[in-house]
Structure 1
Amino acid sequence: SLAIRVRDELGVLFADEQFVGLFPVRGKPAWSPGRLAMVLVLQFVEGLTDRQAAEAVRARIDWKFALGLELTDPGFGFSVLTEFRDRLVGGDAGRAVLDAILVAAKDRELLTSGGKARTDSTHVLSSARELNWLELVGETLRAALNAVAYAEPDWLSARALPDWFKHYATRIEDSRFPKAHAKRVEVGRWIGADGMRLLRLVWADDAPPALRELPEVGILRQVWVQHFHLVEGEVERRDPKDRPPGAKRLVTPYDIEARGSVKRGTMWDGYKVHLTETCEPDAVHLVTDVTTTVATVPDDRMAAVVHAGLARRGMLPDEHWVDAGYANSSALAAARIDHGVDLHGPLPPVAVAQARGEGAYAQDAFTIDWDNQHVTCPNGITSTQWHHRRSEEQLPVIRVRFSPADCRTCPSLRDCVSSPKAQRREITLRPRHEYEALHQARQLQATDEWKRRYKIRAGVEGTISQGAQACGLRRSRYRGLGKTSLQHQLTGAAINLIRINAWLTDQPRARTRTSPLAALRPAA
């Protein structure tokens, strides 16, 4: 079996010393943390629950062999896995589990530095159920009332409105909200008023101070600030433009780090995971980096994060293939300058005609003198202004302007500028290292050779599919970014063991499935 083969070929993957910082010095000895780490990885390999994994440790010979246990070893209670995961999250030790497998693969010469790698991301649904707006505010208020009732039952009993027991004693999803829009607005208004009343009671002078420290009350306050405000003394819902951006807006009171996002038509509440794997044709493809973020973090910020993580572990590739979401001028330049990595990905098209390279007065037709900080147009006129500024996205840019006195008299002015009222040409440049990297990349991507080589990136879609189908990659098992990140680290470790086992047993990689109709598609 996989467990036996991994032990035979790779040896002991996890030592107790790797996790010594997660446990106190004094107290009763814990079950071997190295073995617990192995149990967690095998659990994800086979898609088991905690109870099933603990039973496998007690009853299965192949697991006992992989863990180095006697056949008579009784194992442990399944709750030990929950406690160990909490320790891994608290000590940010999830990466150590994945790294240990990569180190063993290196020792077995299954993994080498350099070469090619590819990265892609996918959505991850929160473990908490997706809520509509009425369910969000109603459930948030219900959670706060339950927390206050548990902490100070007598205090709340003396102040609670009779309707609160009717509306918030059971789960909000069991309520039948009206279908008419006007009536739903009215329901949201009185939920907002009830929540505002509770907040006023909690922050009153005679309220127990401990109530203000309850996490549920803090979440209630945050959600109410985001969704309600007072209009002439009445609680009203905020207009869409008056609400905070998605990166700050809570989507459920039960997973406060989850965020709502959309990518290519897919809308979800939760997180996003980025998988990086090796992709040499004559070697096993191993996951070398797993990075989990909130759902609203764009892909174009992640290339530097992935490279920094790979650099710390000495696993930087020579070529890194990504999709259009990761590729931009700053990412290309930073990858080359900071890490010596050639980042390859389709660059976004240029929207401005003057910058696209069309016509005699396209931006490429202008001569840039970076040392003397001026630009010369095709007619020999030199720019008069060169300023370092920030773009709308707060990225560094260079604003170059020509003199109106020179441009107004030029017979080619209308061909040179895009606006019919413009009196001079203006050019926006990236910093020199980004500009040159972008220019070289666009020239390279126009070749048939680059387009042929870029096909290698598509293979990472299969890795995401394997993670989703075999290990539940797209659904968080736990609440919170820390535990979700640990889940993905264990998923990456499990995928690596599955692939190492397939490589050692000479199992061929699955071919990309093509439907009969797709096979008849004419060549482009």
Structure 2
Amino acid sequence: MAVGRTPMQPGLLSSTAGFCEGRLAPNSIYAVLHRECRALFPDEMFADLFAEDGRRSVPPMIVAVVMVLQRLEGLSDREAVERFAFDVRWKYAAGGLDFDHPGFVHTVLVDMRARLAASGRPGRIFERTVEVAAQAGLVGRRRVLDSAPIYDAVATQDTITLVRSAIRNLLRAADHVLRAQLRAVLLSQDTYTSTAKPAIDWTDAAEREALIDTRARDGYALLTVLDGRVLGQEADQAARLLATVLGQDLEQDEDVFKIARKVARDRVISTVDPEARHGHKTVNRAFDGYKGHVAEDPDSEIVTATAVTAGNVGDAEPAAELLADVLHPAAPAAPAAPAEQAEQAEQAEVYGDAAYGTGPLLAELAQADVKVMVKVQAANAPGGRFSKDAFAISLEAGQVTCPNRVTVAIRPHHDGGGQARFGAACAACPLSAQCTTARDGRVISIGPHEEHLAQGRARSADPVWLAAYRATRPKVERKIAHLMRRRHGGRRARVRGRAKVGADFSLLAAAANIARLGVLGIMSTASGNWTIAAG
């Protein structure tokens, strides 16, 4: 299929432009796309996704506009193509197309997403919005980080459903010869063709335990058959998933398989979406699915980077990826103008809540000479006893002094940290009741990034620092609210798998960026650059 071309000359009397102009606000997303869609998403931008000859595709610029509006309004594929066919604003946004411009089927959107995913630049639509904002001088050296839960698009499964579903997936993935061999070793009477739970008396503990034991034995019997075999990709993935499900939830007690009385750290919660995980946004707020992470320029409120991780991944883990442009700025291709040189010389700043106040991230920011505006959780101790901050830690001297002025050496660990053990000194200490109840005395653990954490705790208690933090940090929360305001496609994922959820999330951020650029008055120039309209 060859790349299609967007019509450049809409009909004089049939164009949607004359109808919409004056009826839509000039800073609305429809108006900004109408004015700038050909410069934002030219057909040539997607030429590498198509062959040089063949049947012409729907013009990629039109598809890109539809994808952006679809994500902004939280529509399904079918709803989006229907909106394009009958909502005059969508045709106006796609360059002022004619009222009778033909629509297209929803599979065009499916095909475009697949082509983008298989390309070398799957996030090009989002990247284009950041590029335009940067050319217009809207992307500076300050960043604010935050994350939000994205609920998965599948139901969380219990143990017996997980095991049966994993076995069913393996039988489905095997070829007919291997499938016959696998079915021959099944010990239960379960055919594994139905998704319904087996018909037993679920109030009878003995029947439940027998069900779990027999299905676990079926699973292990299948894995025994596959041991040492070279499998195709689909069958291999299904076998690995079965092994994971059996190992995470079950334990053997007196030759009987039972549900383990613990929760595996990285537990698979669904065989339909094996990458989704249990997550916690706060101690009391749990969710199942993924986390969407953003970096935002707080001055222009443009999202500069996005990432999606499993729900159980810490907020700080993808931070370096989100901050790549400030941690490792690209060298300019040509000598910069004086204003650009001044901007490049400006020290970068990174804001984040206490979830980002981890030693490795603080150390990386300090190494890159970034001004750290990241909160660090205050040290605490159980029962209101002396926290670590009550001890004078001297990393240069390699020693720690307690509130009773007893000094001990830090015993180094191989990871760069260490421990300071006060031992017998605590037995005769008059402050011991305020310090520890341990029989062997107080132990102060020193992390490999203790210096950065101590500096962060001191900063977080400074009123001047806190005032600057509170004036800037909440801006990203408003942006998260913009991204998550729709339940379907915002707070809840529309697709399955981390890669697809990540692509969908970046497209949502692209739509939010274009809406913001419209408010800021973005406009292209005759020279092909971008600027902000005066006034």
Q: TM-score range by the shorter chain?
A: 0.7 to 0.9
8 Å contact 1:270–1:294 — kept in the other structure? yes
Which amino acid is 2:518 matched to?
N
Match of 1:511 in 2: none
Offset of 1:462 from its aligned partner? 3.0
8 Å contact 2:148–2:293 — kept in the other structure? yes
Match of 1:138 in 2: 164
Match of 2:465 in 1: 450
Q: Structure 1's 93 and 128: CA in aligned 2 closer, same or farther, altered over 3 A?
A: farther
CA deviations on 1:360-407 (whole Å, 9 max, x unpaired) are: xx423x6x372x656688999876x555425xxxx6314457898xx6
Match for residue 126 of structure 2 among 98, 105, 125: 98
Offset of 1:331 from its aligned partner? 2.6
CA deviations on 1:155-187 (whole Å, 9 max, x unpaired) are: 67877779324xx33222596761344432222
CA deviations on 1:448-490 (whole Å, 9 max, x unpaired) are: 3333333342343333232222363221211111001001101
Which amino acid is 2:154 matched to?
A
Match of 1:257 in 2: 275
Q: Structure 1's 79 and 380: CA in aligned 2 closer, same or farther, altered over 3 A?
A: closer
8 Å contact 1:229–1:236 — kept in the other structure? yes
- Matched residue SS, 2:286: strand
* Partner Cα separation in structure 1 for residue 395 and residue 236 of structure 2: 61
* Partner Cα separation in structure 2 for residue 317 and residue 80 of structure 1: 45
Match of 2:238 in 1: 216
CA deviations on 1:233-263 (whole Å, 9 max, x unpaired) are: x55135335x7x332x321111121122333
8 Å contact 1:292–1:485 — kept in the other structure? yes
- Matched residue SS, 1:164: coil
TM-score (norm 2): 0.74
8 Å contact 2:37–2:95 — kept in the other structure? no
- The question of 1:466 aligning with 2:487 is answered no
CA deviations on 1:300-324 (whole Å, 9 max, x unpaired) are: 4343332225546779983332222
* Partner Cα separation in structure 1 for residue 183 and residue 426 of structure 2: 79
8 Å contact 1:149–1:156 — kept in the other structure? no
Question: For structure 1, which segment, 288-297 or 192-201, has the greater mean C-alpha deviation from structure 2 after superposition?
Answer: 192-201
* Partner Cα separation in structure 2 for residue 96 and residue 46 of structure 1: 20
8 Å contact 1:273–1:488 — kept in the other structure? yes
Match for residue 293 of structure 2 among 274, 288, 309: 274
Match of 1:184 in 2: 208
Q: Structure 1's 92 and 261: CA in aligned 2 closer, same or farther, altered over 3 A?
A: farther
8 Å contact 2:37–2:65 — kept in the other structure? no
- The question of 1:324 aligning with 2:354 is answered yes
Match for residue 93 of structure 2 among 30, 45, 66: 66
Question: For structure 1, which segment, 39-48 or 62-71, has the greater mean C-alpha deviation from structure 2 after superposition?
Answer: 62-71
Q: Structure 1's 246 and 402: CA in aligned 2 closer, same or farther, altered over 3 A?
A: closer
- Matched residue SS, 2:417: strand
8 Å contact 1:476–1:484 — kept in the other structure? yes
* Partner Cα separation in structure 2 for residue 101 and residue 204 of structure 1: 49
* Partner Cα separation in structure 2 for residue 438 and residue 47 of structure 1: 41
8 Å contact 1:307–1:339 — kept in the other structure? no
Match for residue 195 of structure 1 among 210, 219, 223: 219
Q: Structure 1's 348 and 74: CA in aligned 2 closer, same or farther, altered over 3 A?
A: same
* Partner Cα separation in structure 2 for residue 172 and residue 430 of structure 1: 50
Match for residue 396 of structure 1 among 403, 407, 416: 416
- The question of 1:493 aligning with 2:510 is answered yes
8 Å contact 1:189–1:235 — kept in the other structure? yes
More helix per residue: 1 or 2?
A: 1
8 Å contact 1:139–1:172 — kept in the other structure? no
- The question of 1:47 aligning with 2:74 is answered yes
Offset of 1:41 from its aligned partner? 1.3
* Partner Cα separation in structure 2 for residue 47 and residue 420 of structure 1: 56
- The question of 1:172 aligning with 2:172 is answered no
* Partner Cα separation in structure 1 for residue 37 and residue 133 of structure 2: 7
Q: Structure 1's 170 and 104: CA in aligned 2 closer, same or farther, altered over 3 A?
A: same
Offset of 1:203 from its aligned partner? 6.0
Offset of 1:125 from its aligned partner? 1.8
* Partner Cα separation in structure 2 for residue 202 and residue 382 of structure 1: 60
8 Å contact 1:302–1:326 — kept in the other structure? no
- Taking only the aligned residue pairs, the percentage that are identical comes to 26
8 Å contact 1:136–1:252 — kept in the other structure? yes
8 Å contact 1:246–1:261 — kept in the other structure? no
* Partner Cα separation in structure 2 for residue 185 and residue 444 of structure 1: 55
Offset of 1:23 from its aligned partner? 4.5
Which amino acid is 1:107 matched to?
Q
Q: Structure 1's 236 and 161: CA in aligned 2 closer, same or farther, altered over 3 A?
A: closer
Q: Structure 1's 100 and 275: CA in aligned 2 closer, same or farther, altered over 3 A?
A: same
* Partner Cα separation in structure 2 for residue 211 and residue 60 of structure 1: 44
8 Å contact 1:135–1:173 — kept in the other structure? yes
* Partner Cα separation in structure 1 for residue 212 and residue 321 of structure 2: 41
Match of 1:239 in 2: 260
* Partner Cα separation in structure 2 for residue 325 and residue 80 of structure 1: 40
Number of corresponding residues: 475
Offset of 1:100 from its aligned partner? 0.8
TM-score (norm 1): 0.75
Match of 2:115 in 1: 87
8 Å contact 2:354–2:374 — kept in the other structure? no
CA deviations on 1:412-439 (whole Å, 9 max, x unpaired) are: 896997467658x8654455xx444444
- The question of 1:351 aligning with 2:381 is answered yes
CA deviations on 1:14-51 (whole Å, 9 max, x unpaired) are: 23444455456676554444443332111111222212
8 Å contact 1:289–1:310 — kept in the other structure? no
Offset of 1:492 from its aligned partner? 0.8
* Partner Cα separation in structure 1 for residue 190 and residue 51 of structure 2: 45
- Matched residue SS, 1:118: strand
| 1:276-425 superposed matches below 5 A | 276-280=295-299, 284-308=300-324, 311=327, 318-351=348-381, 355-357=387-389, 362-364=390-392, 368=394, 370=396, 385=409, 387-390=411-414, 396-399=416-419, 418=436
CA deviations on 1:259-314 (whole Å, 9 max, x unpaired) are: 2233322333221111222323xxx4222221111111112434333222554677
Match for residue 225 of structure 1 among 247, 250, 254: 247
Offset of 1:446 from its aligned partner? 2.3
Gapped regions of structure 1 (runs ≥ 5): 506-524
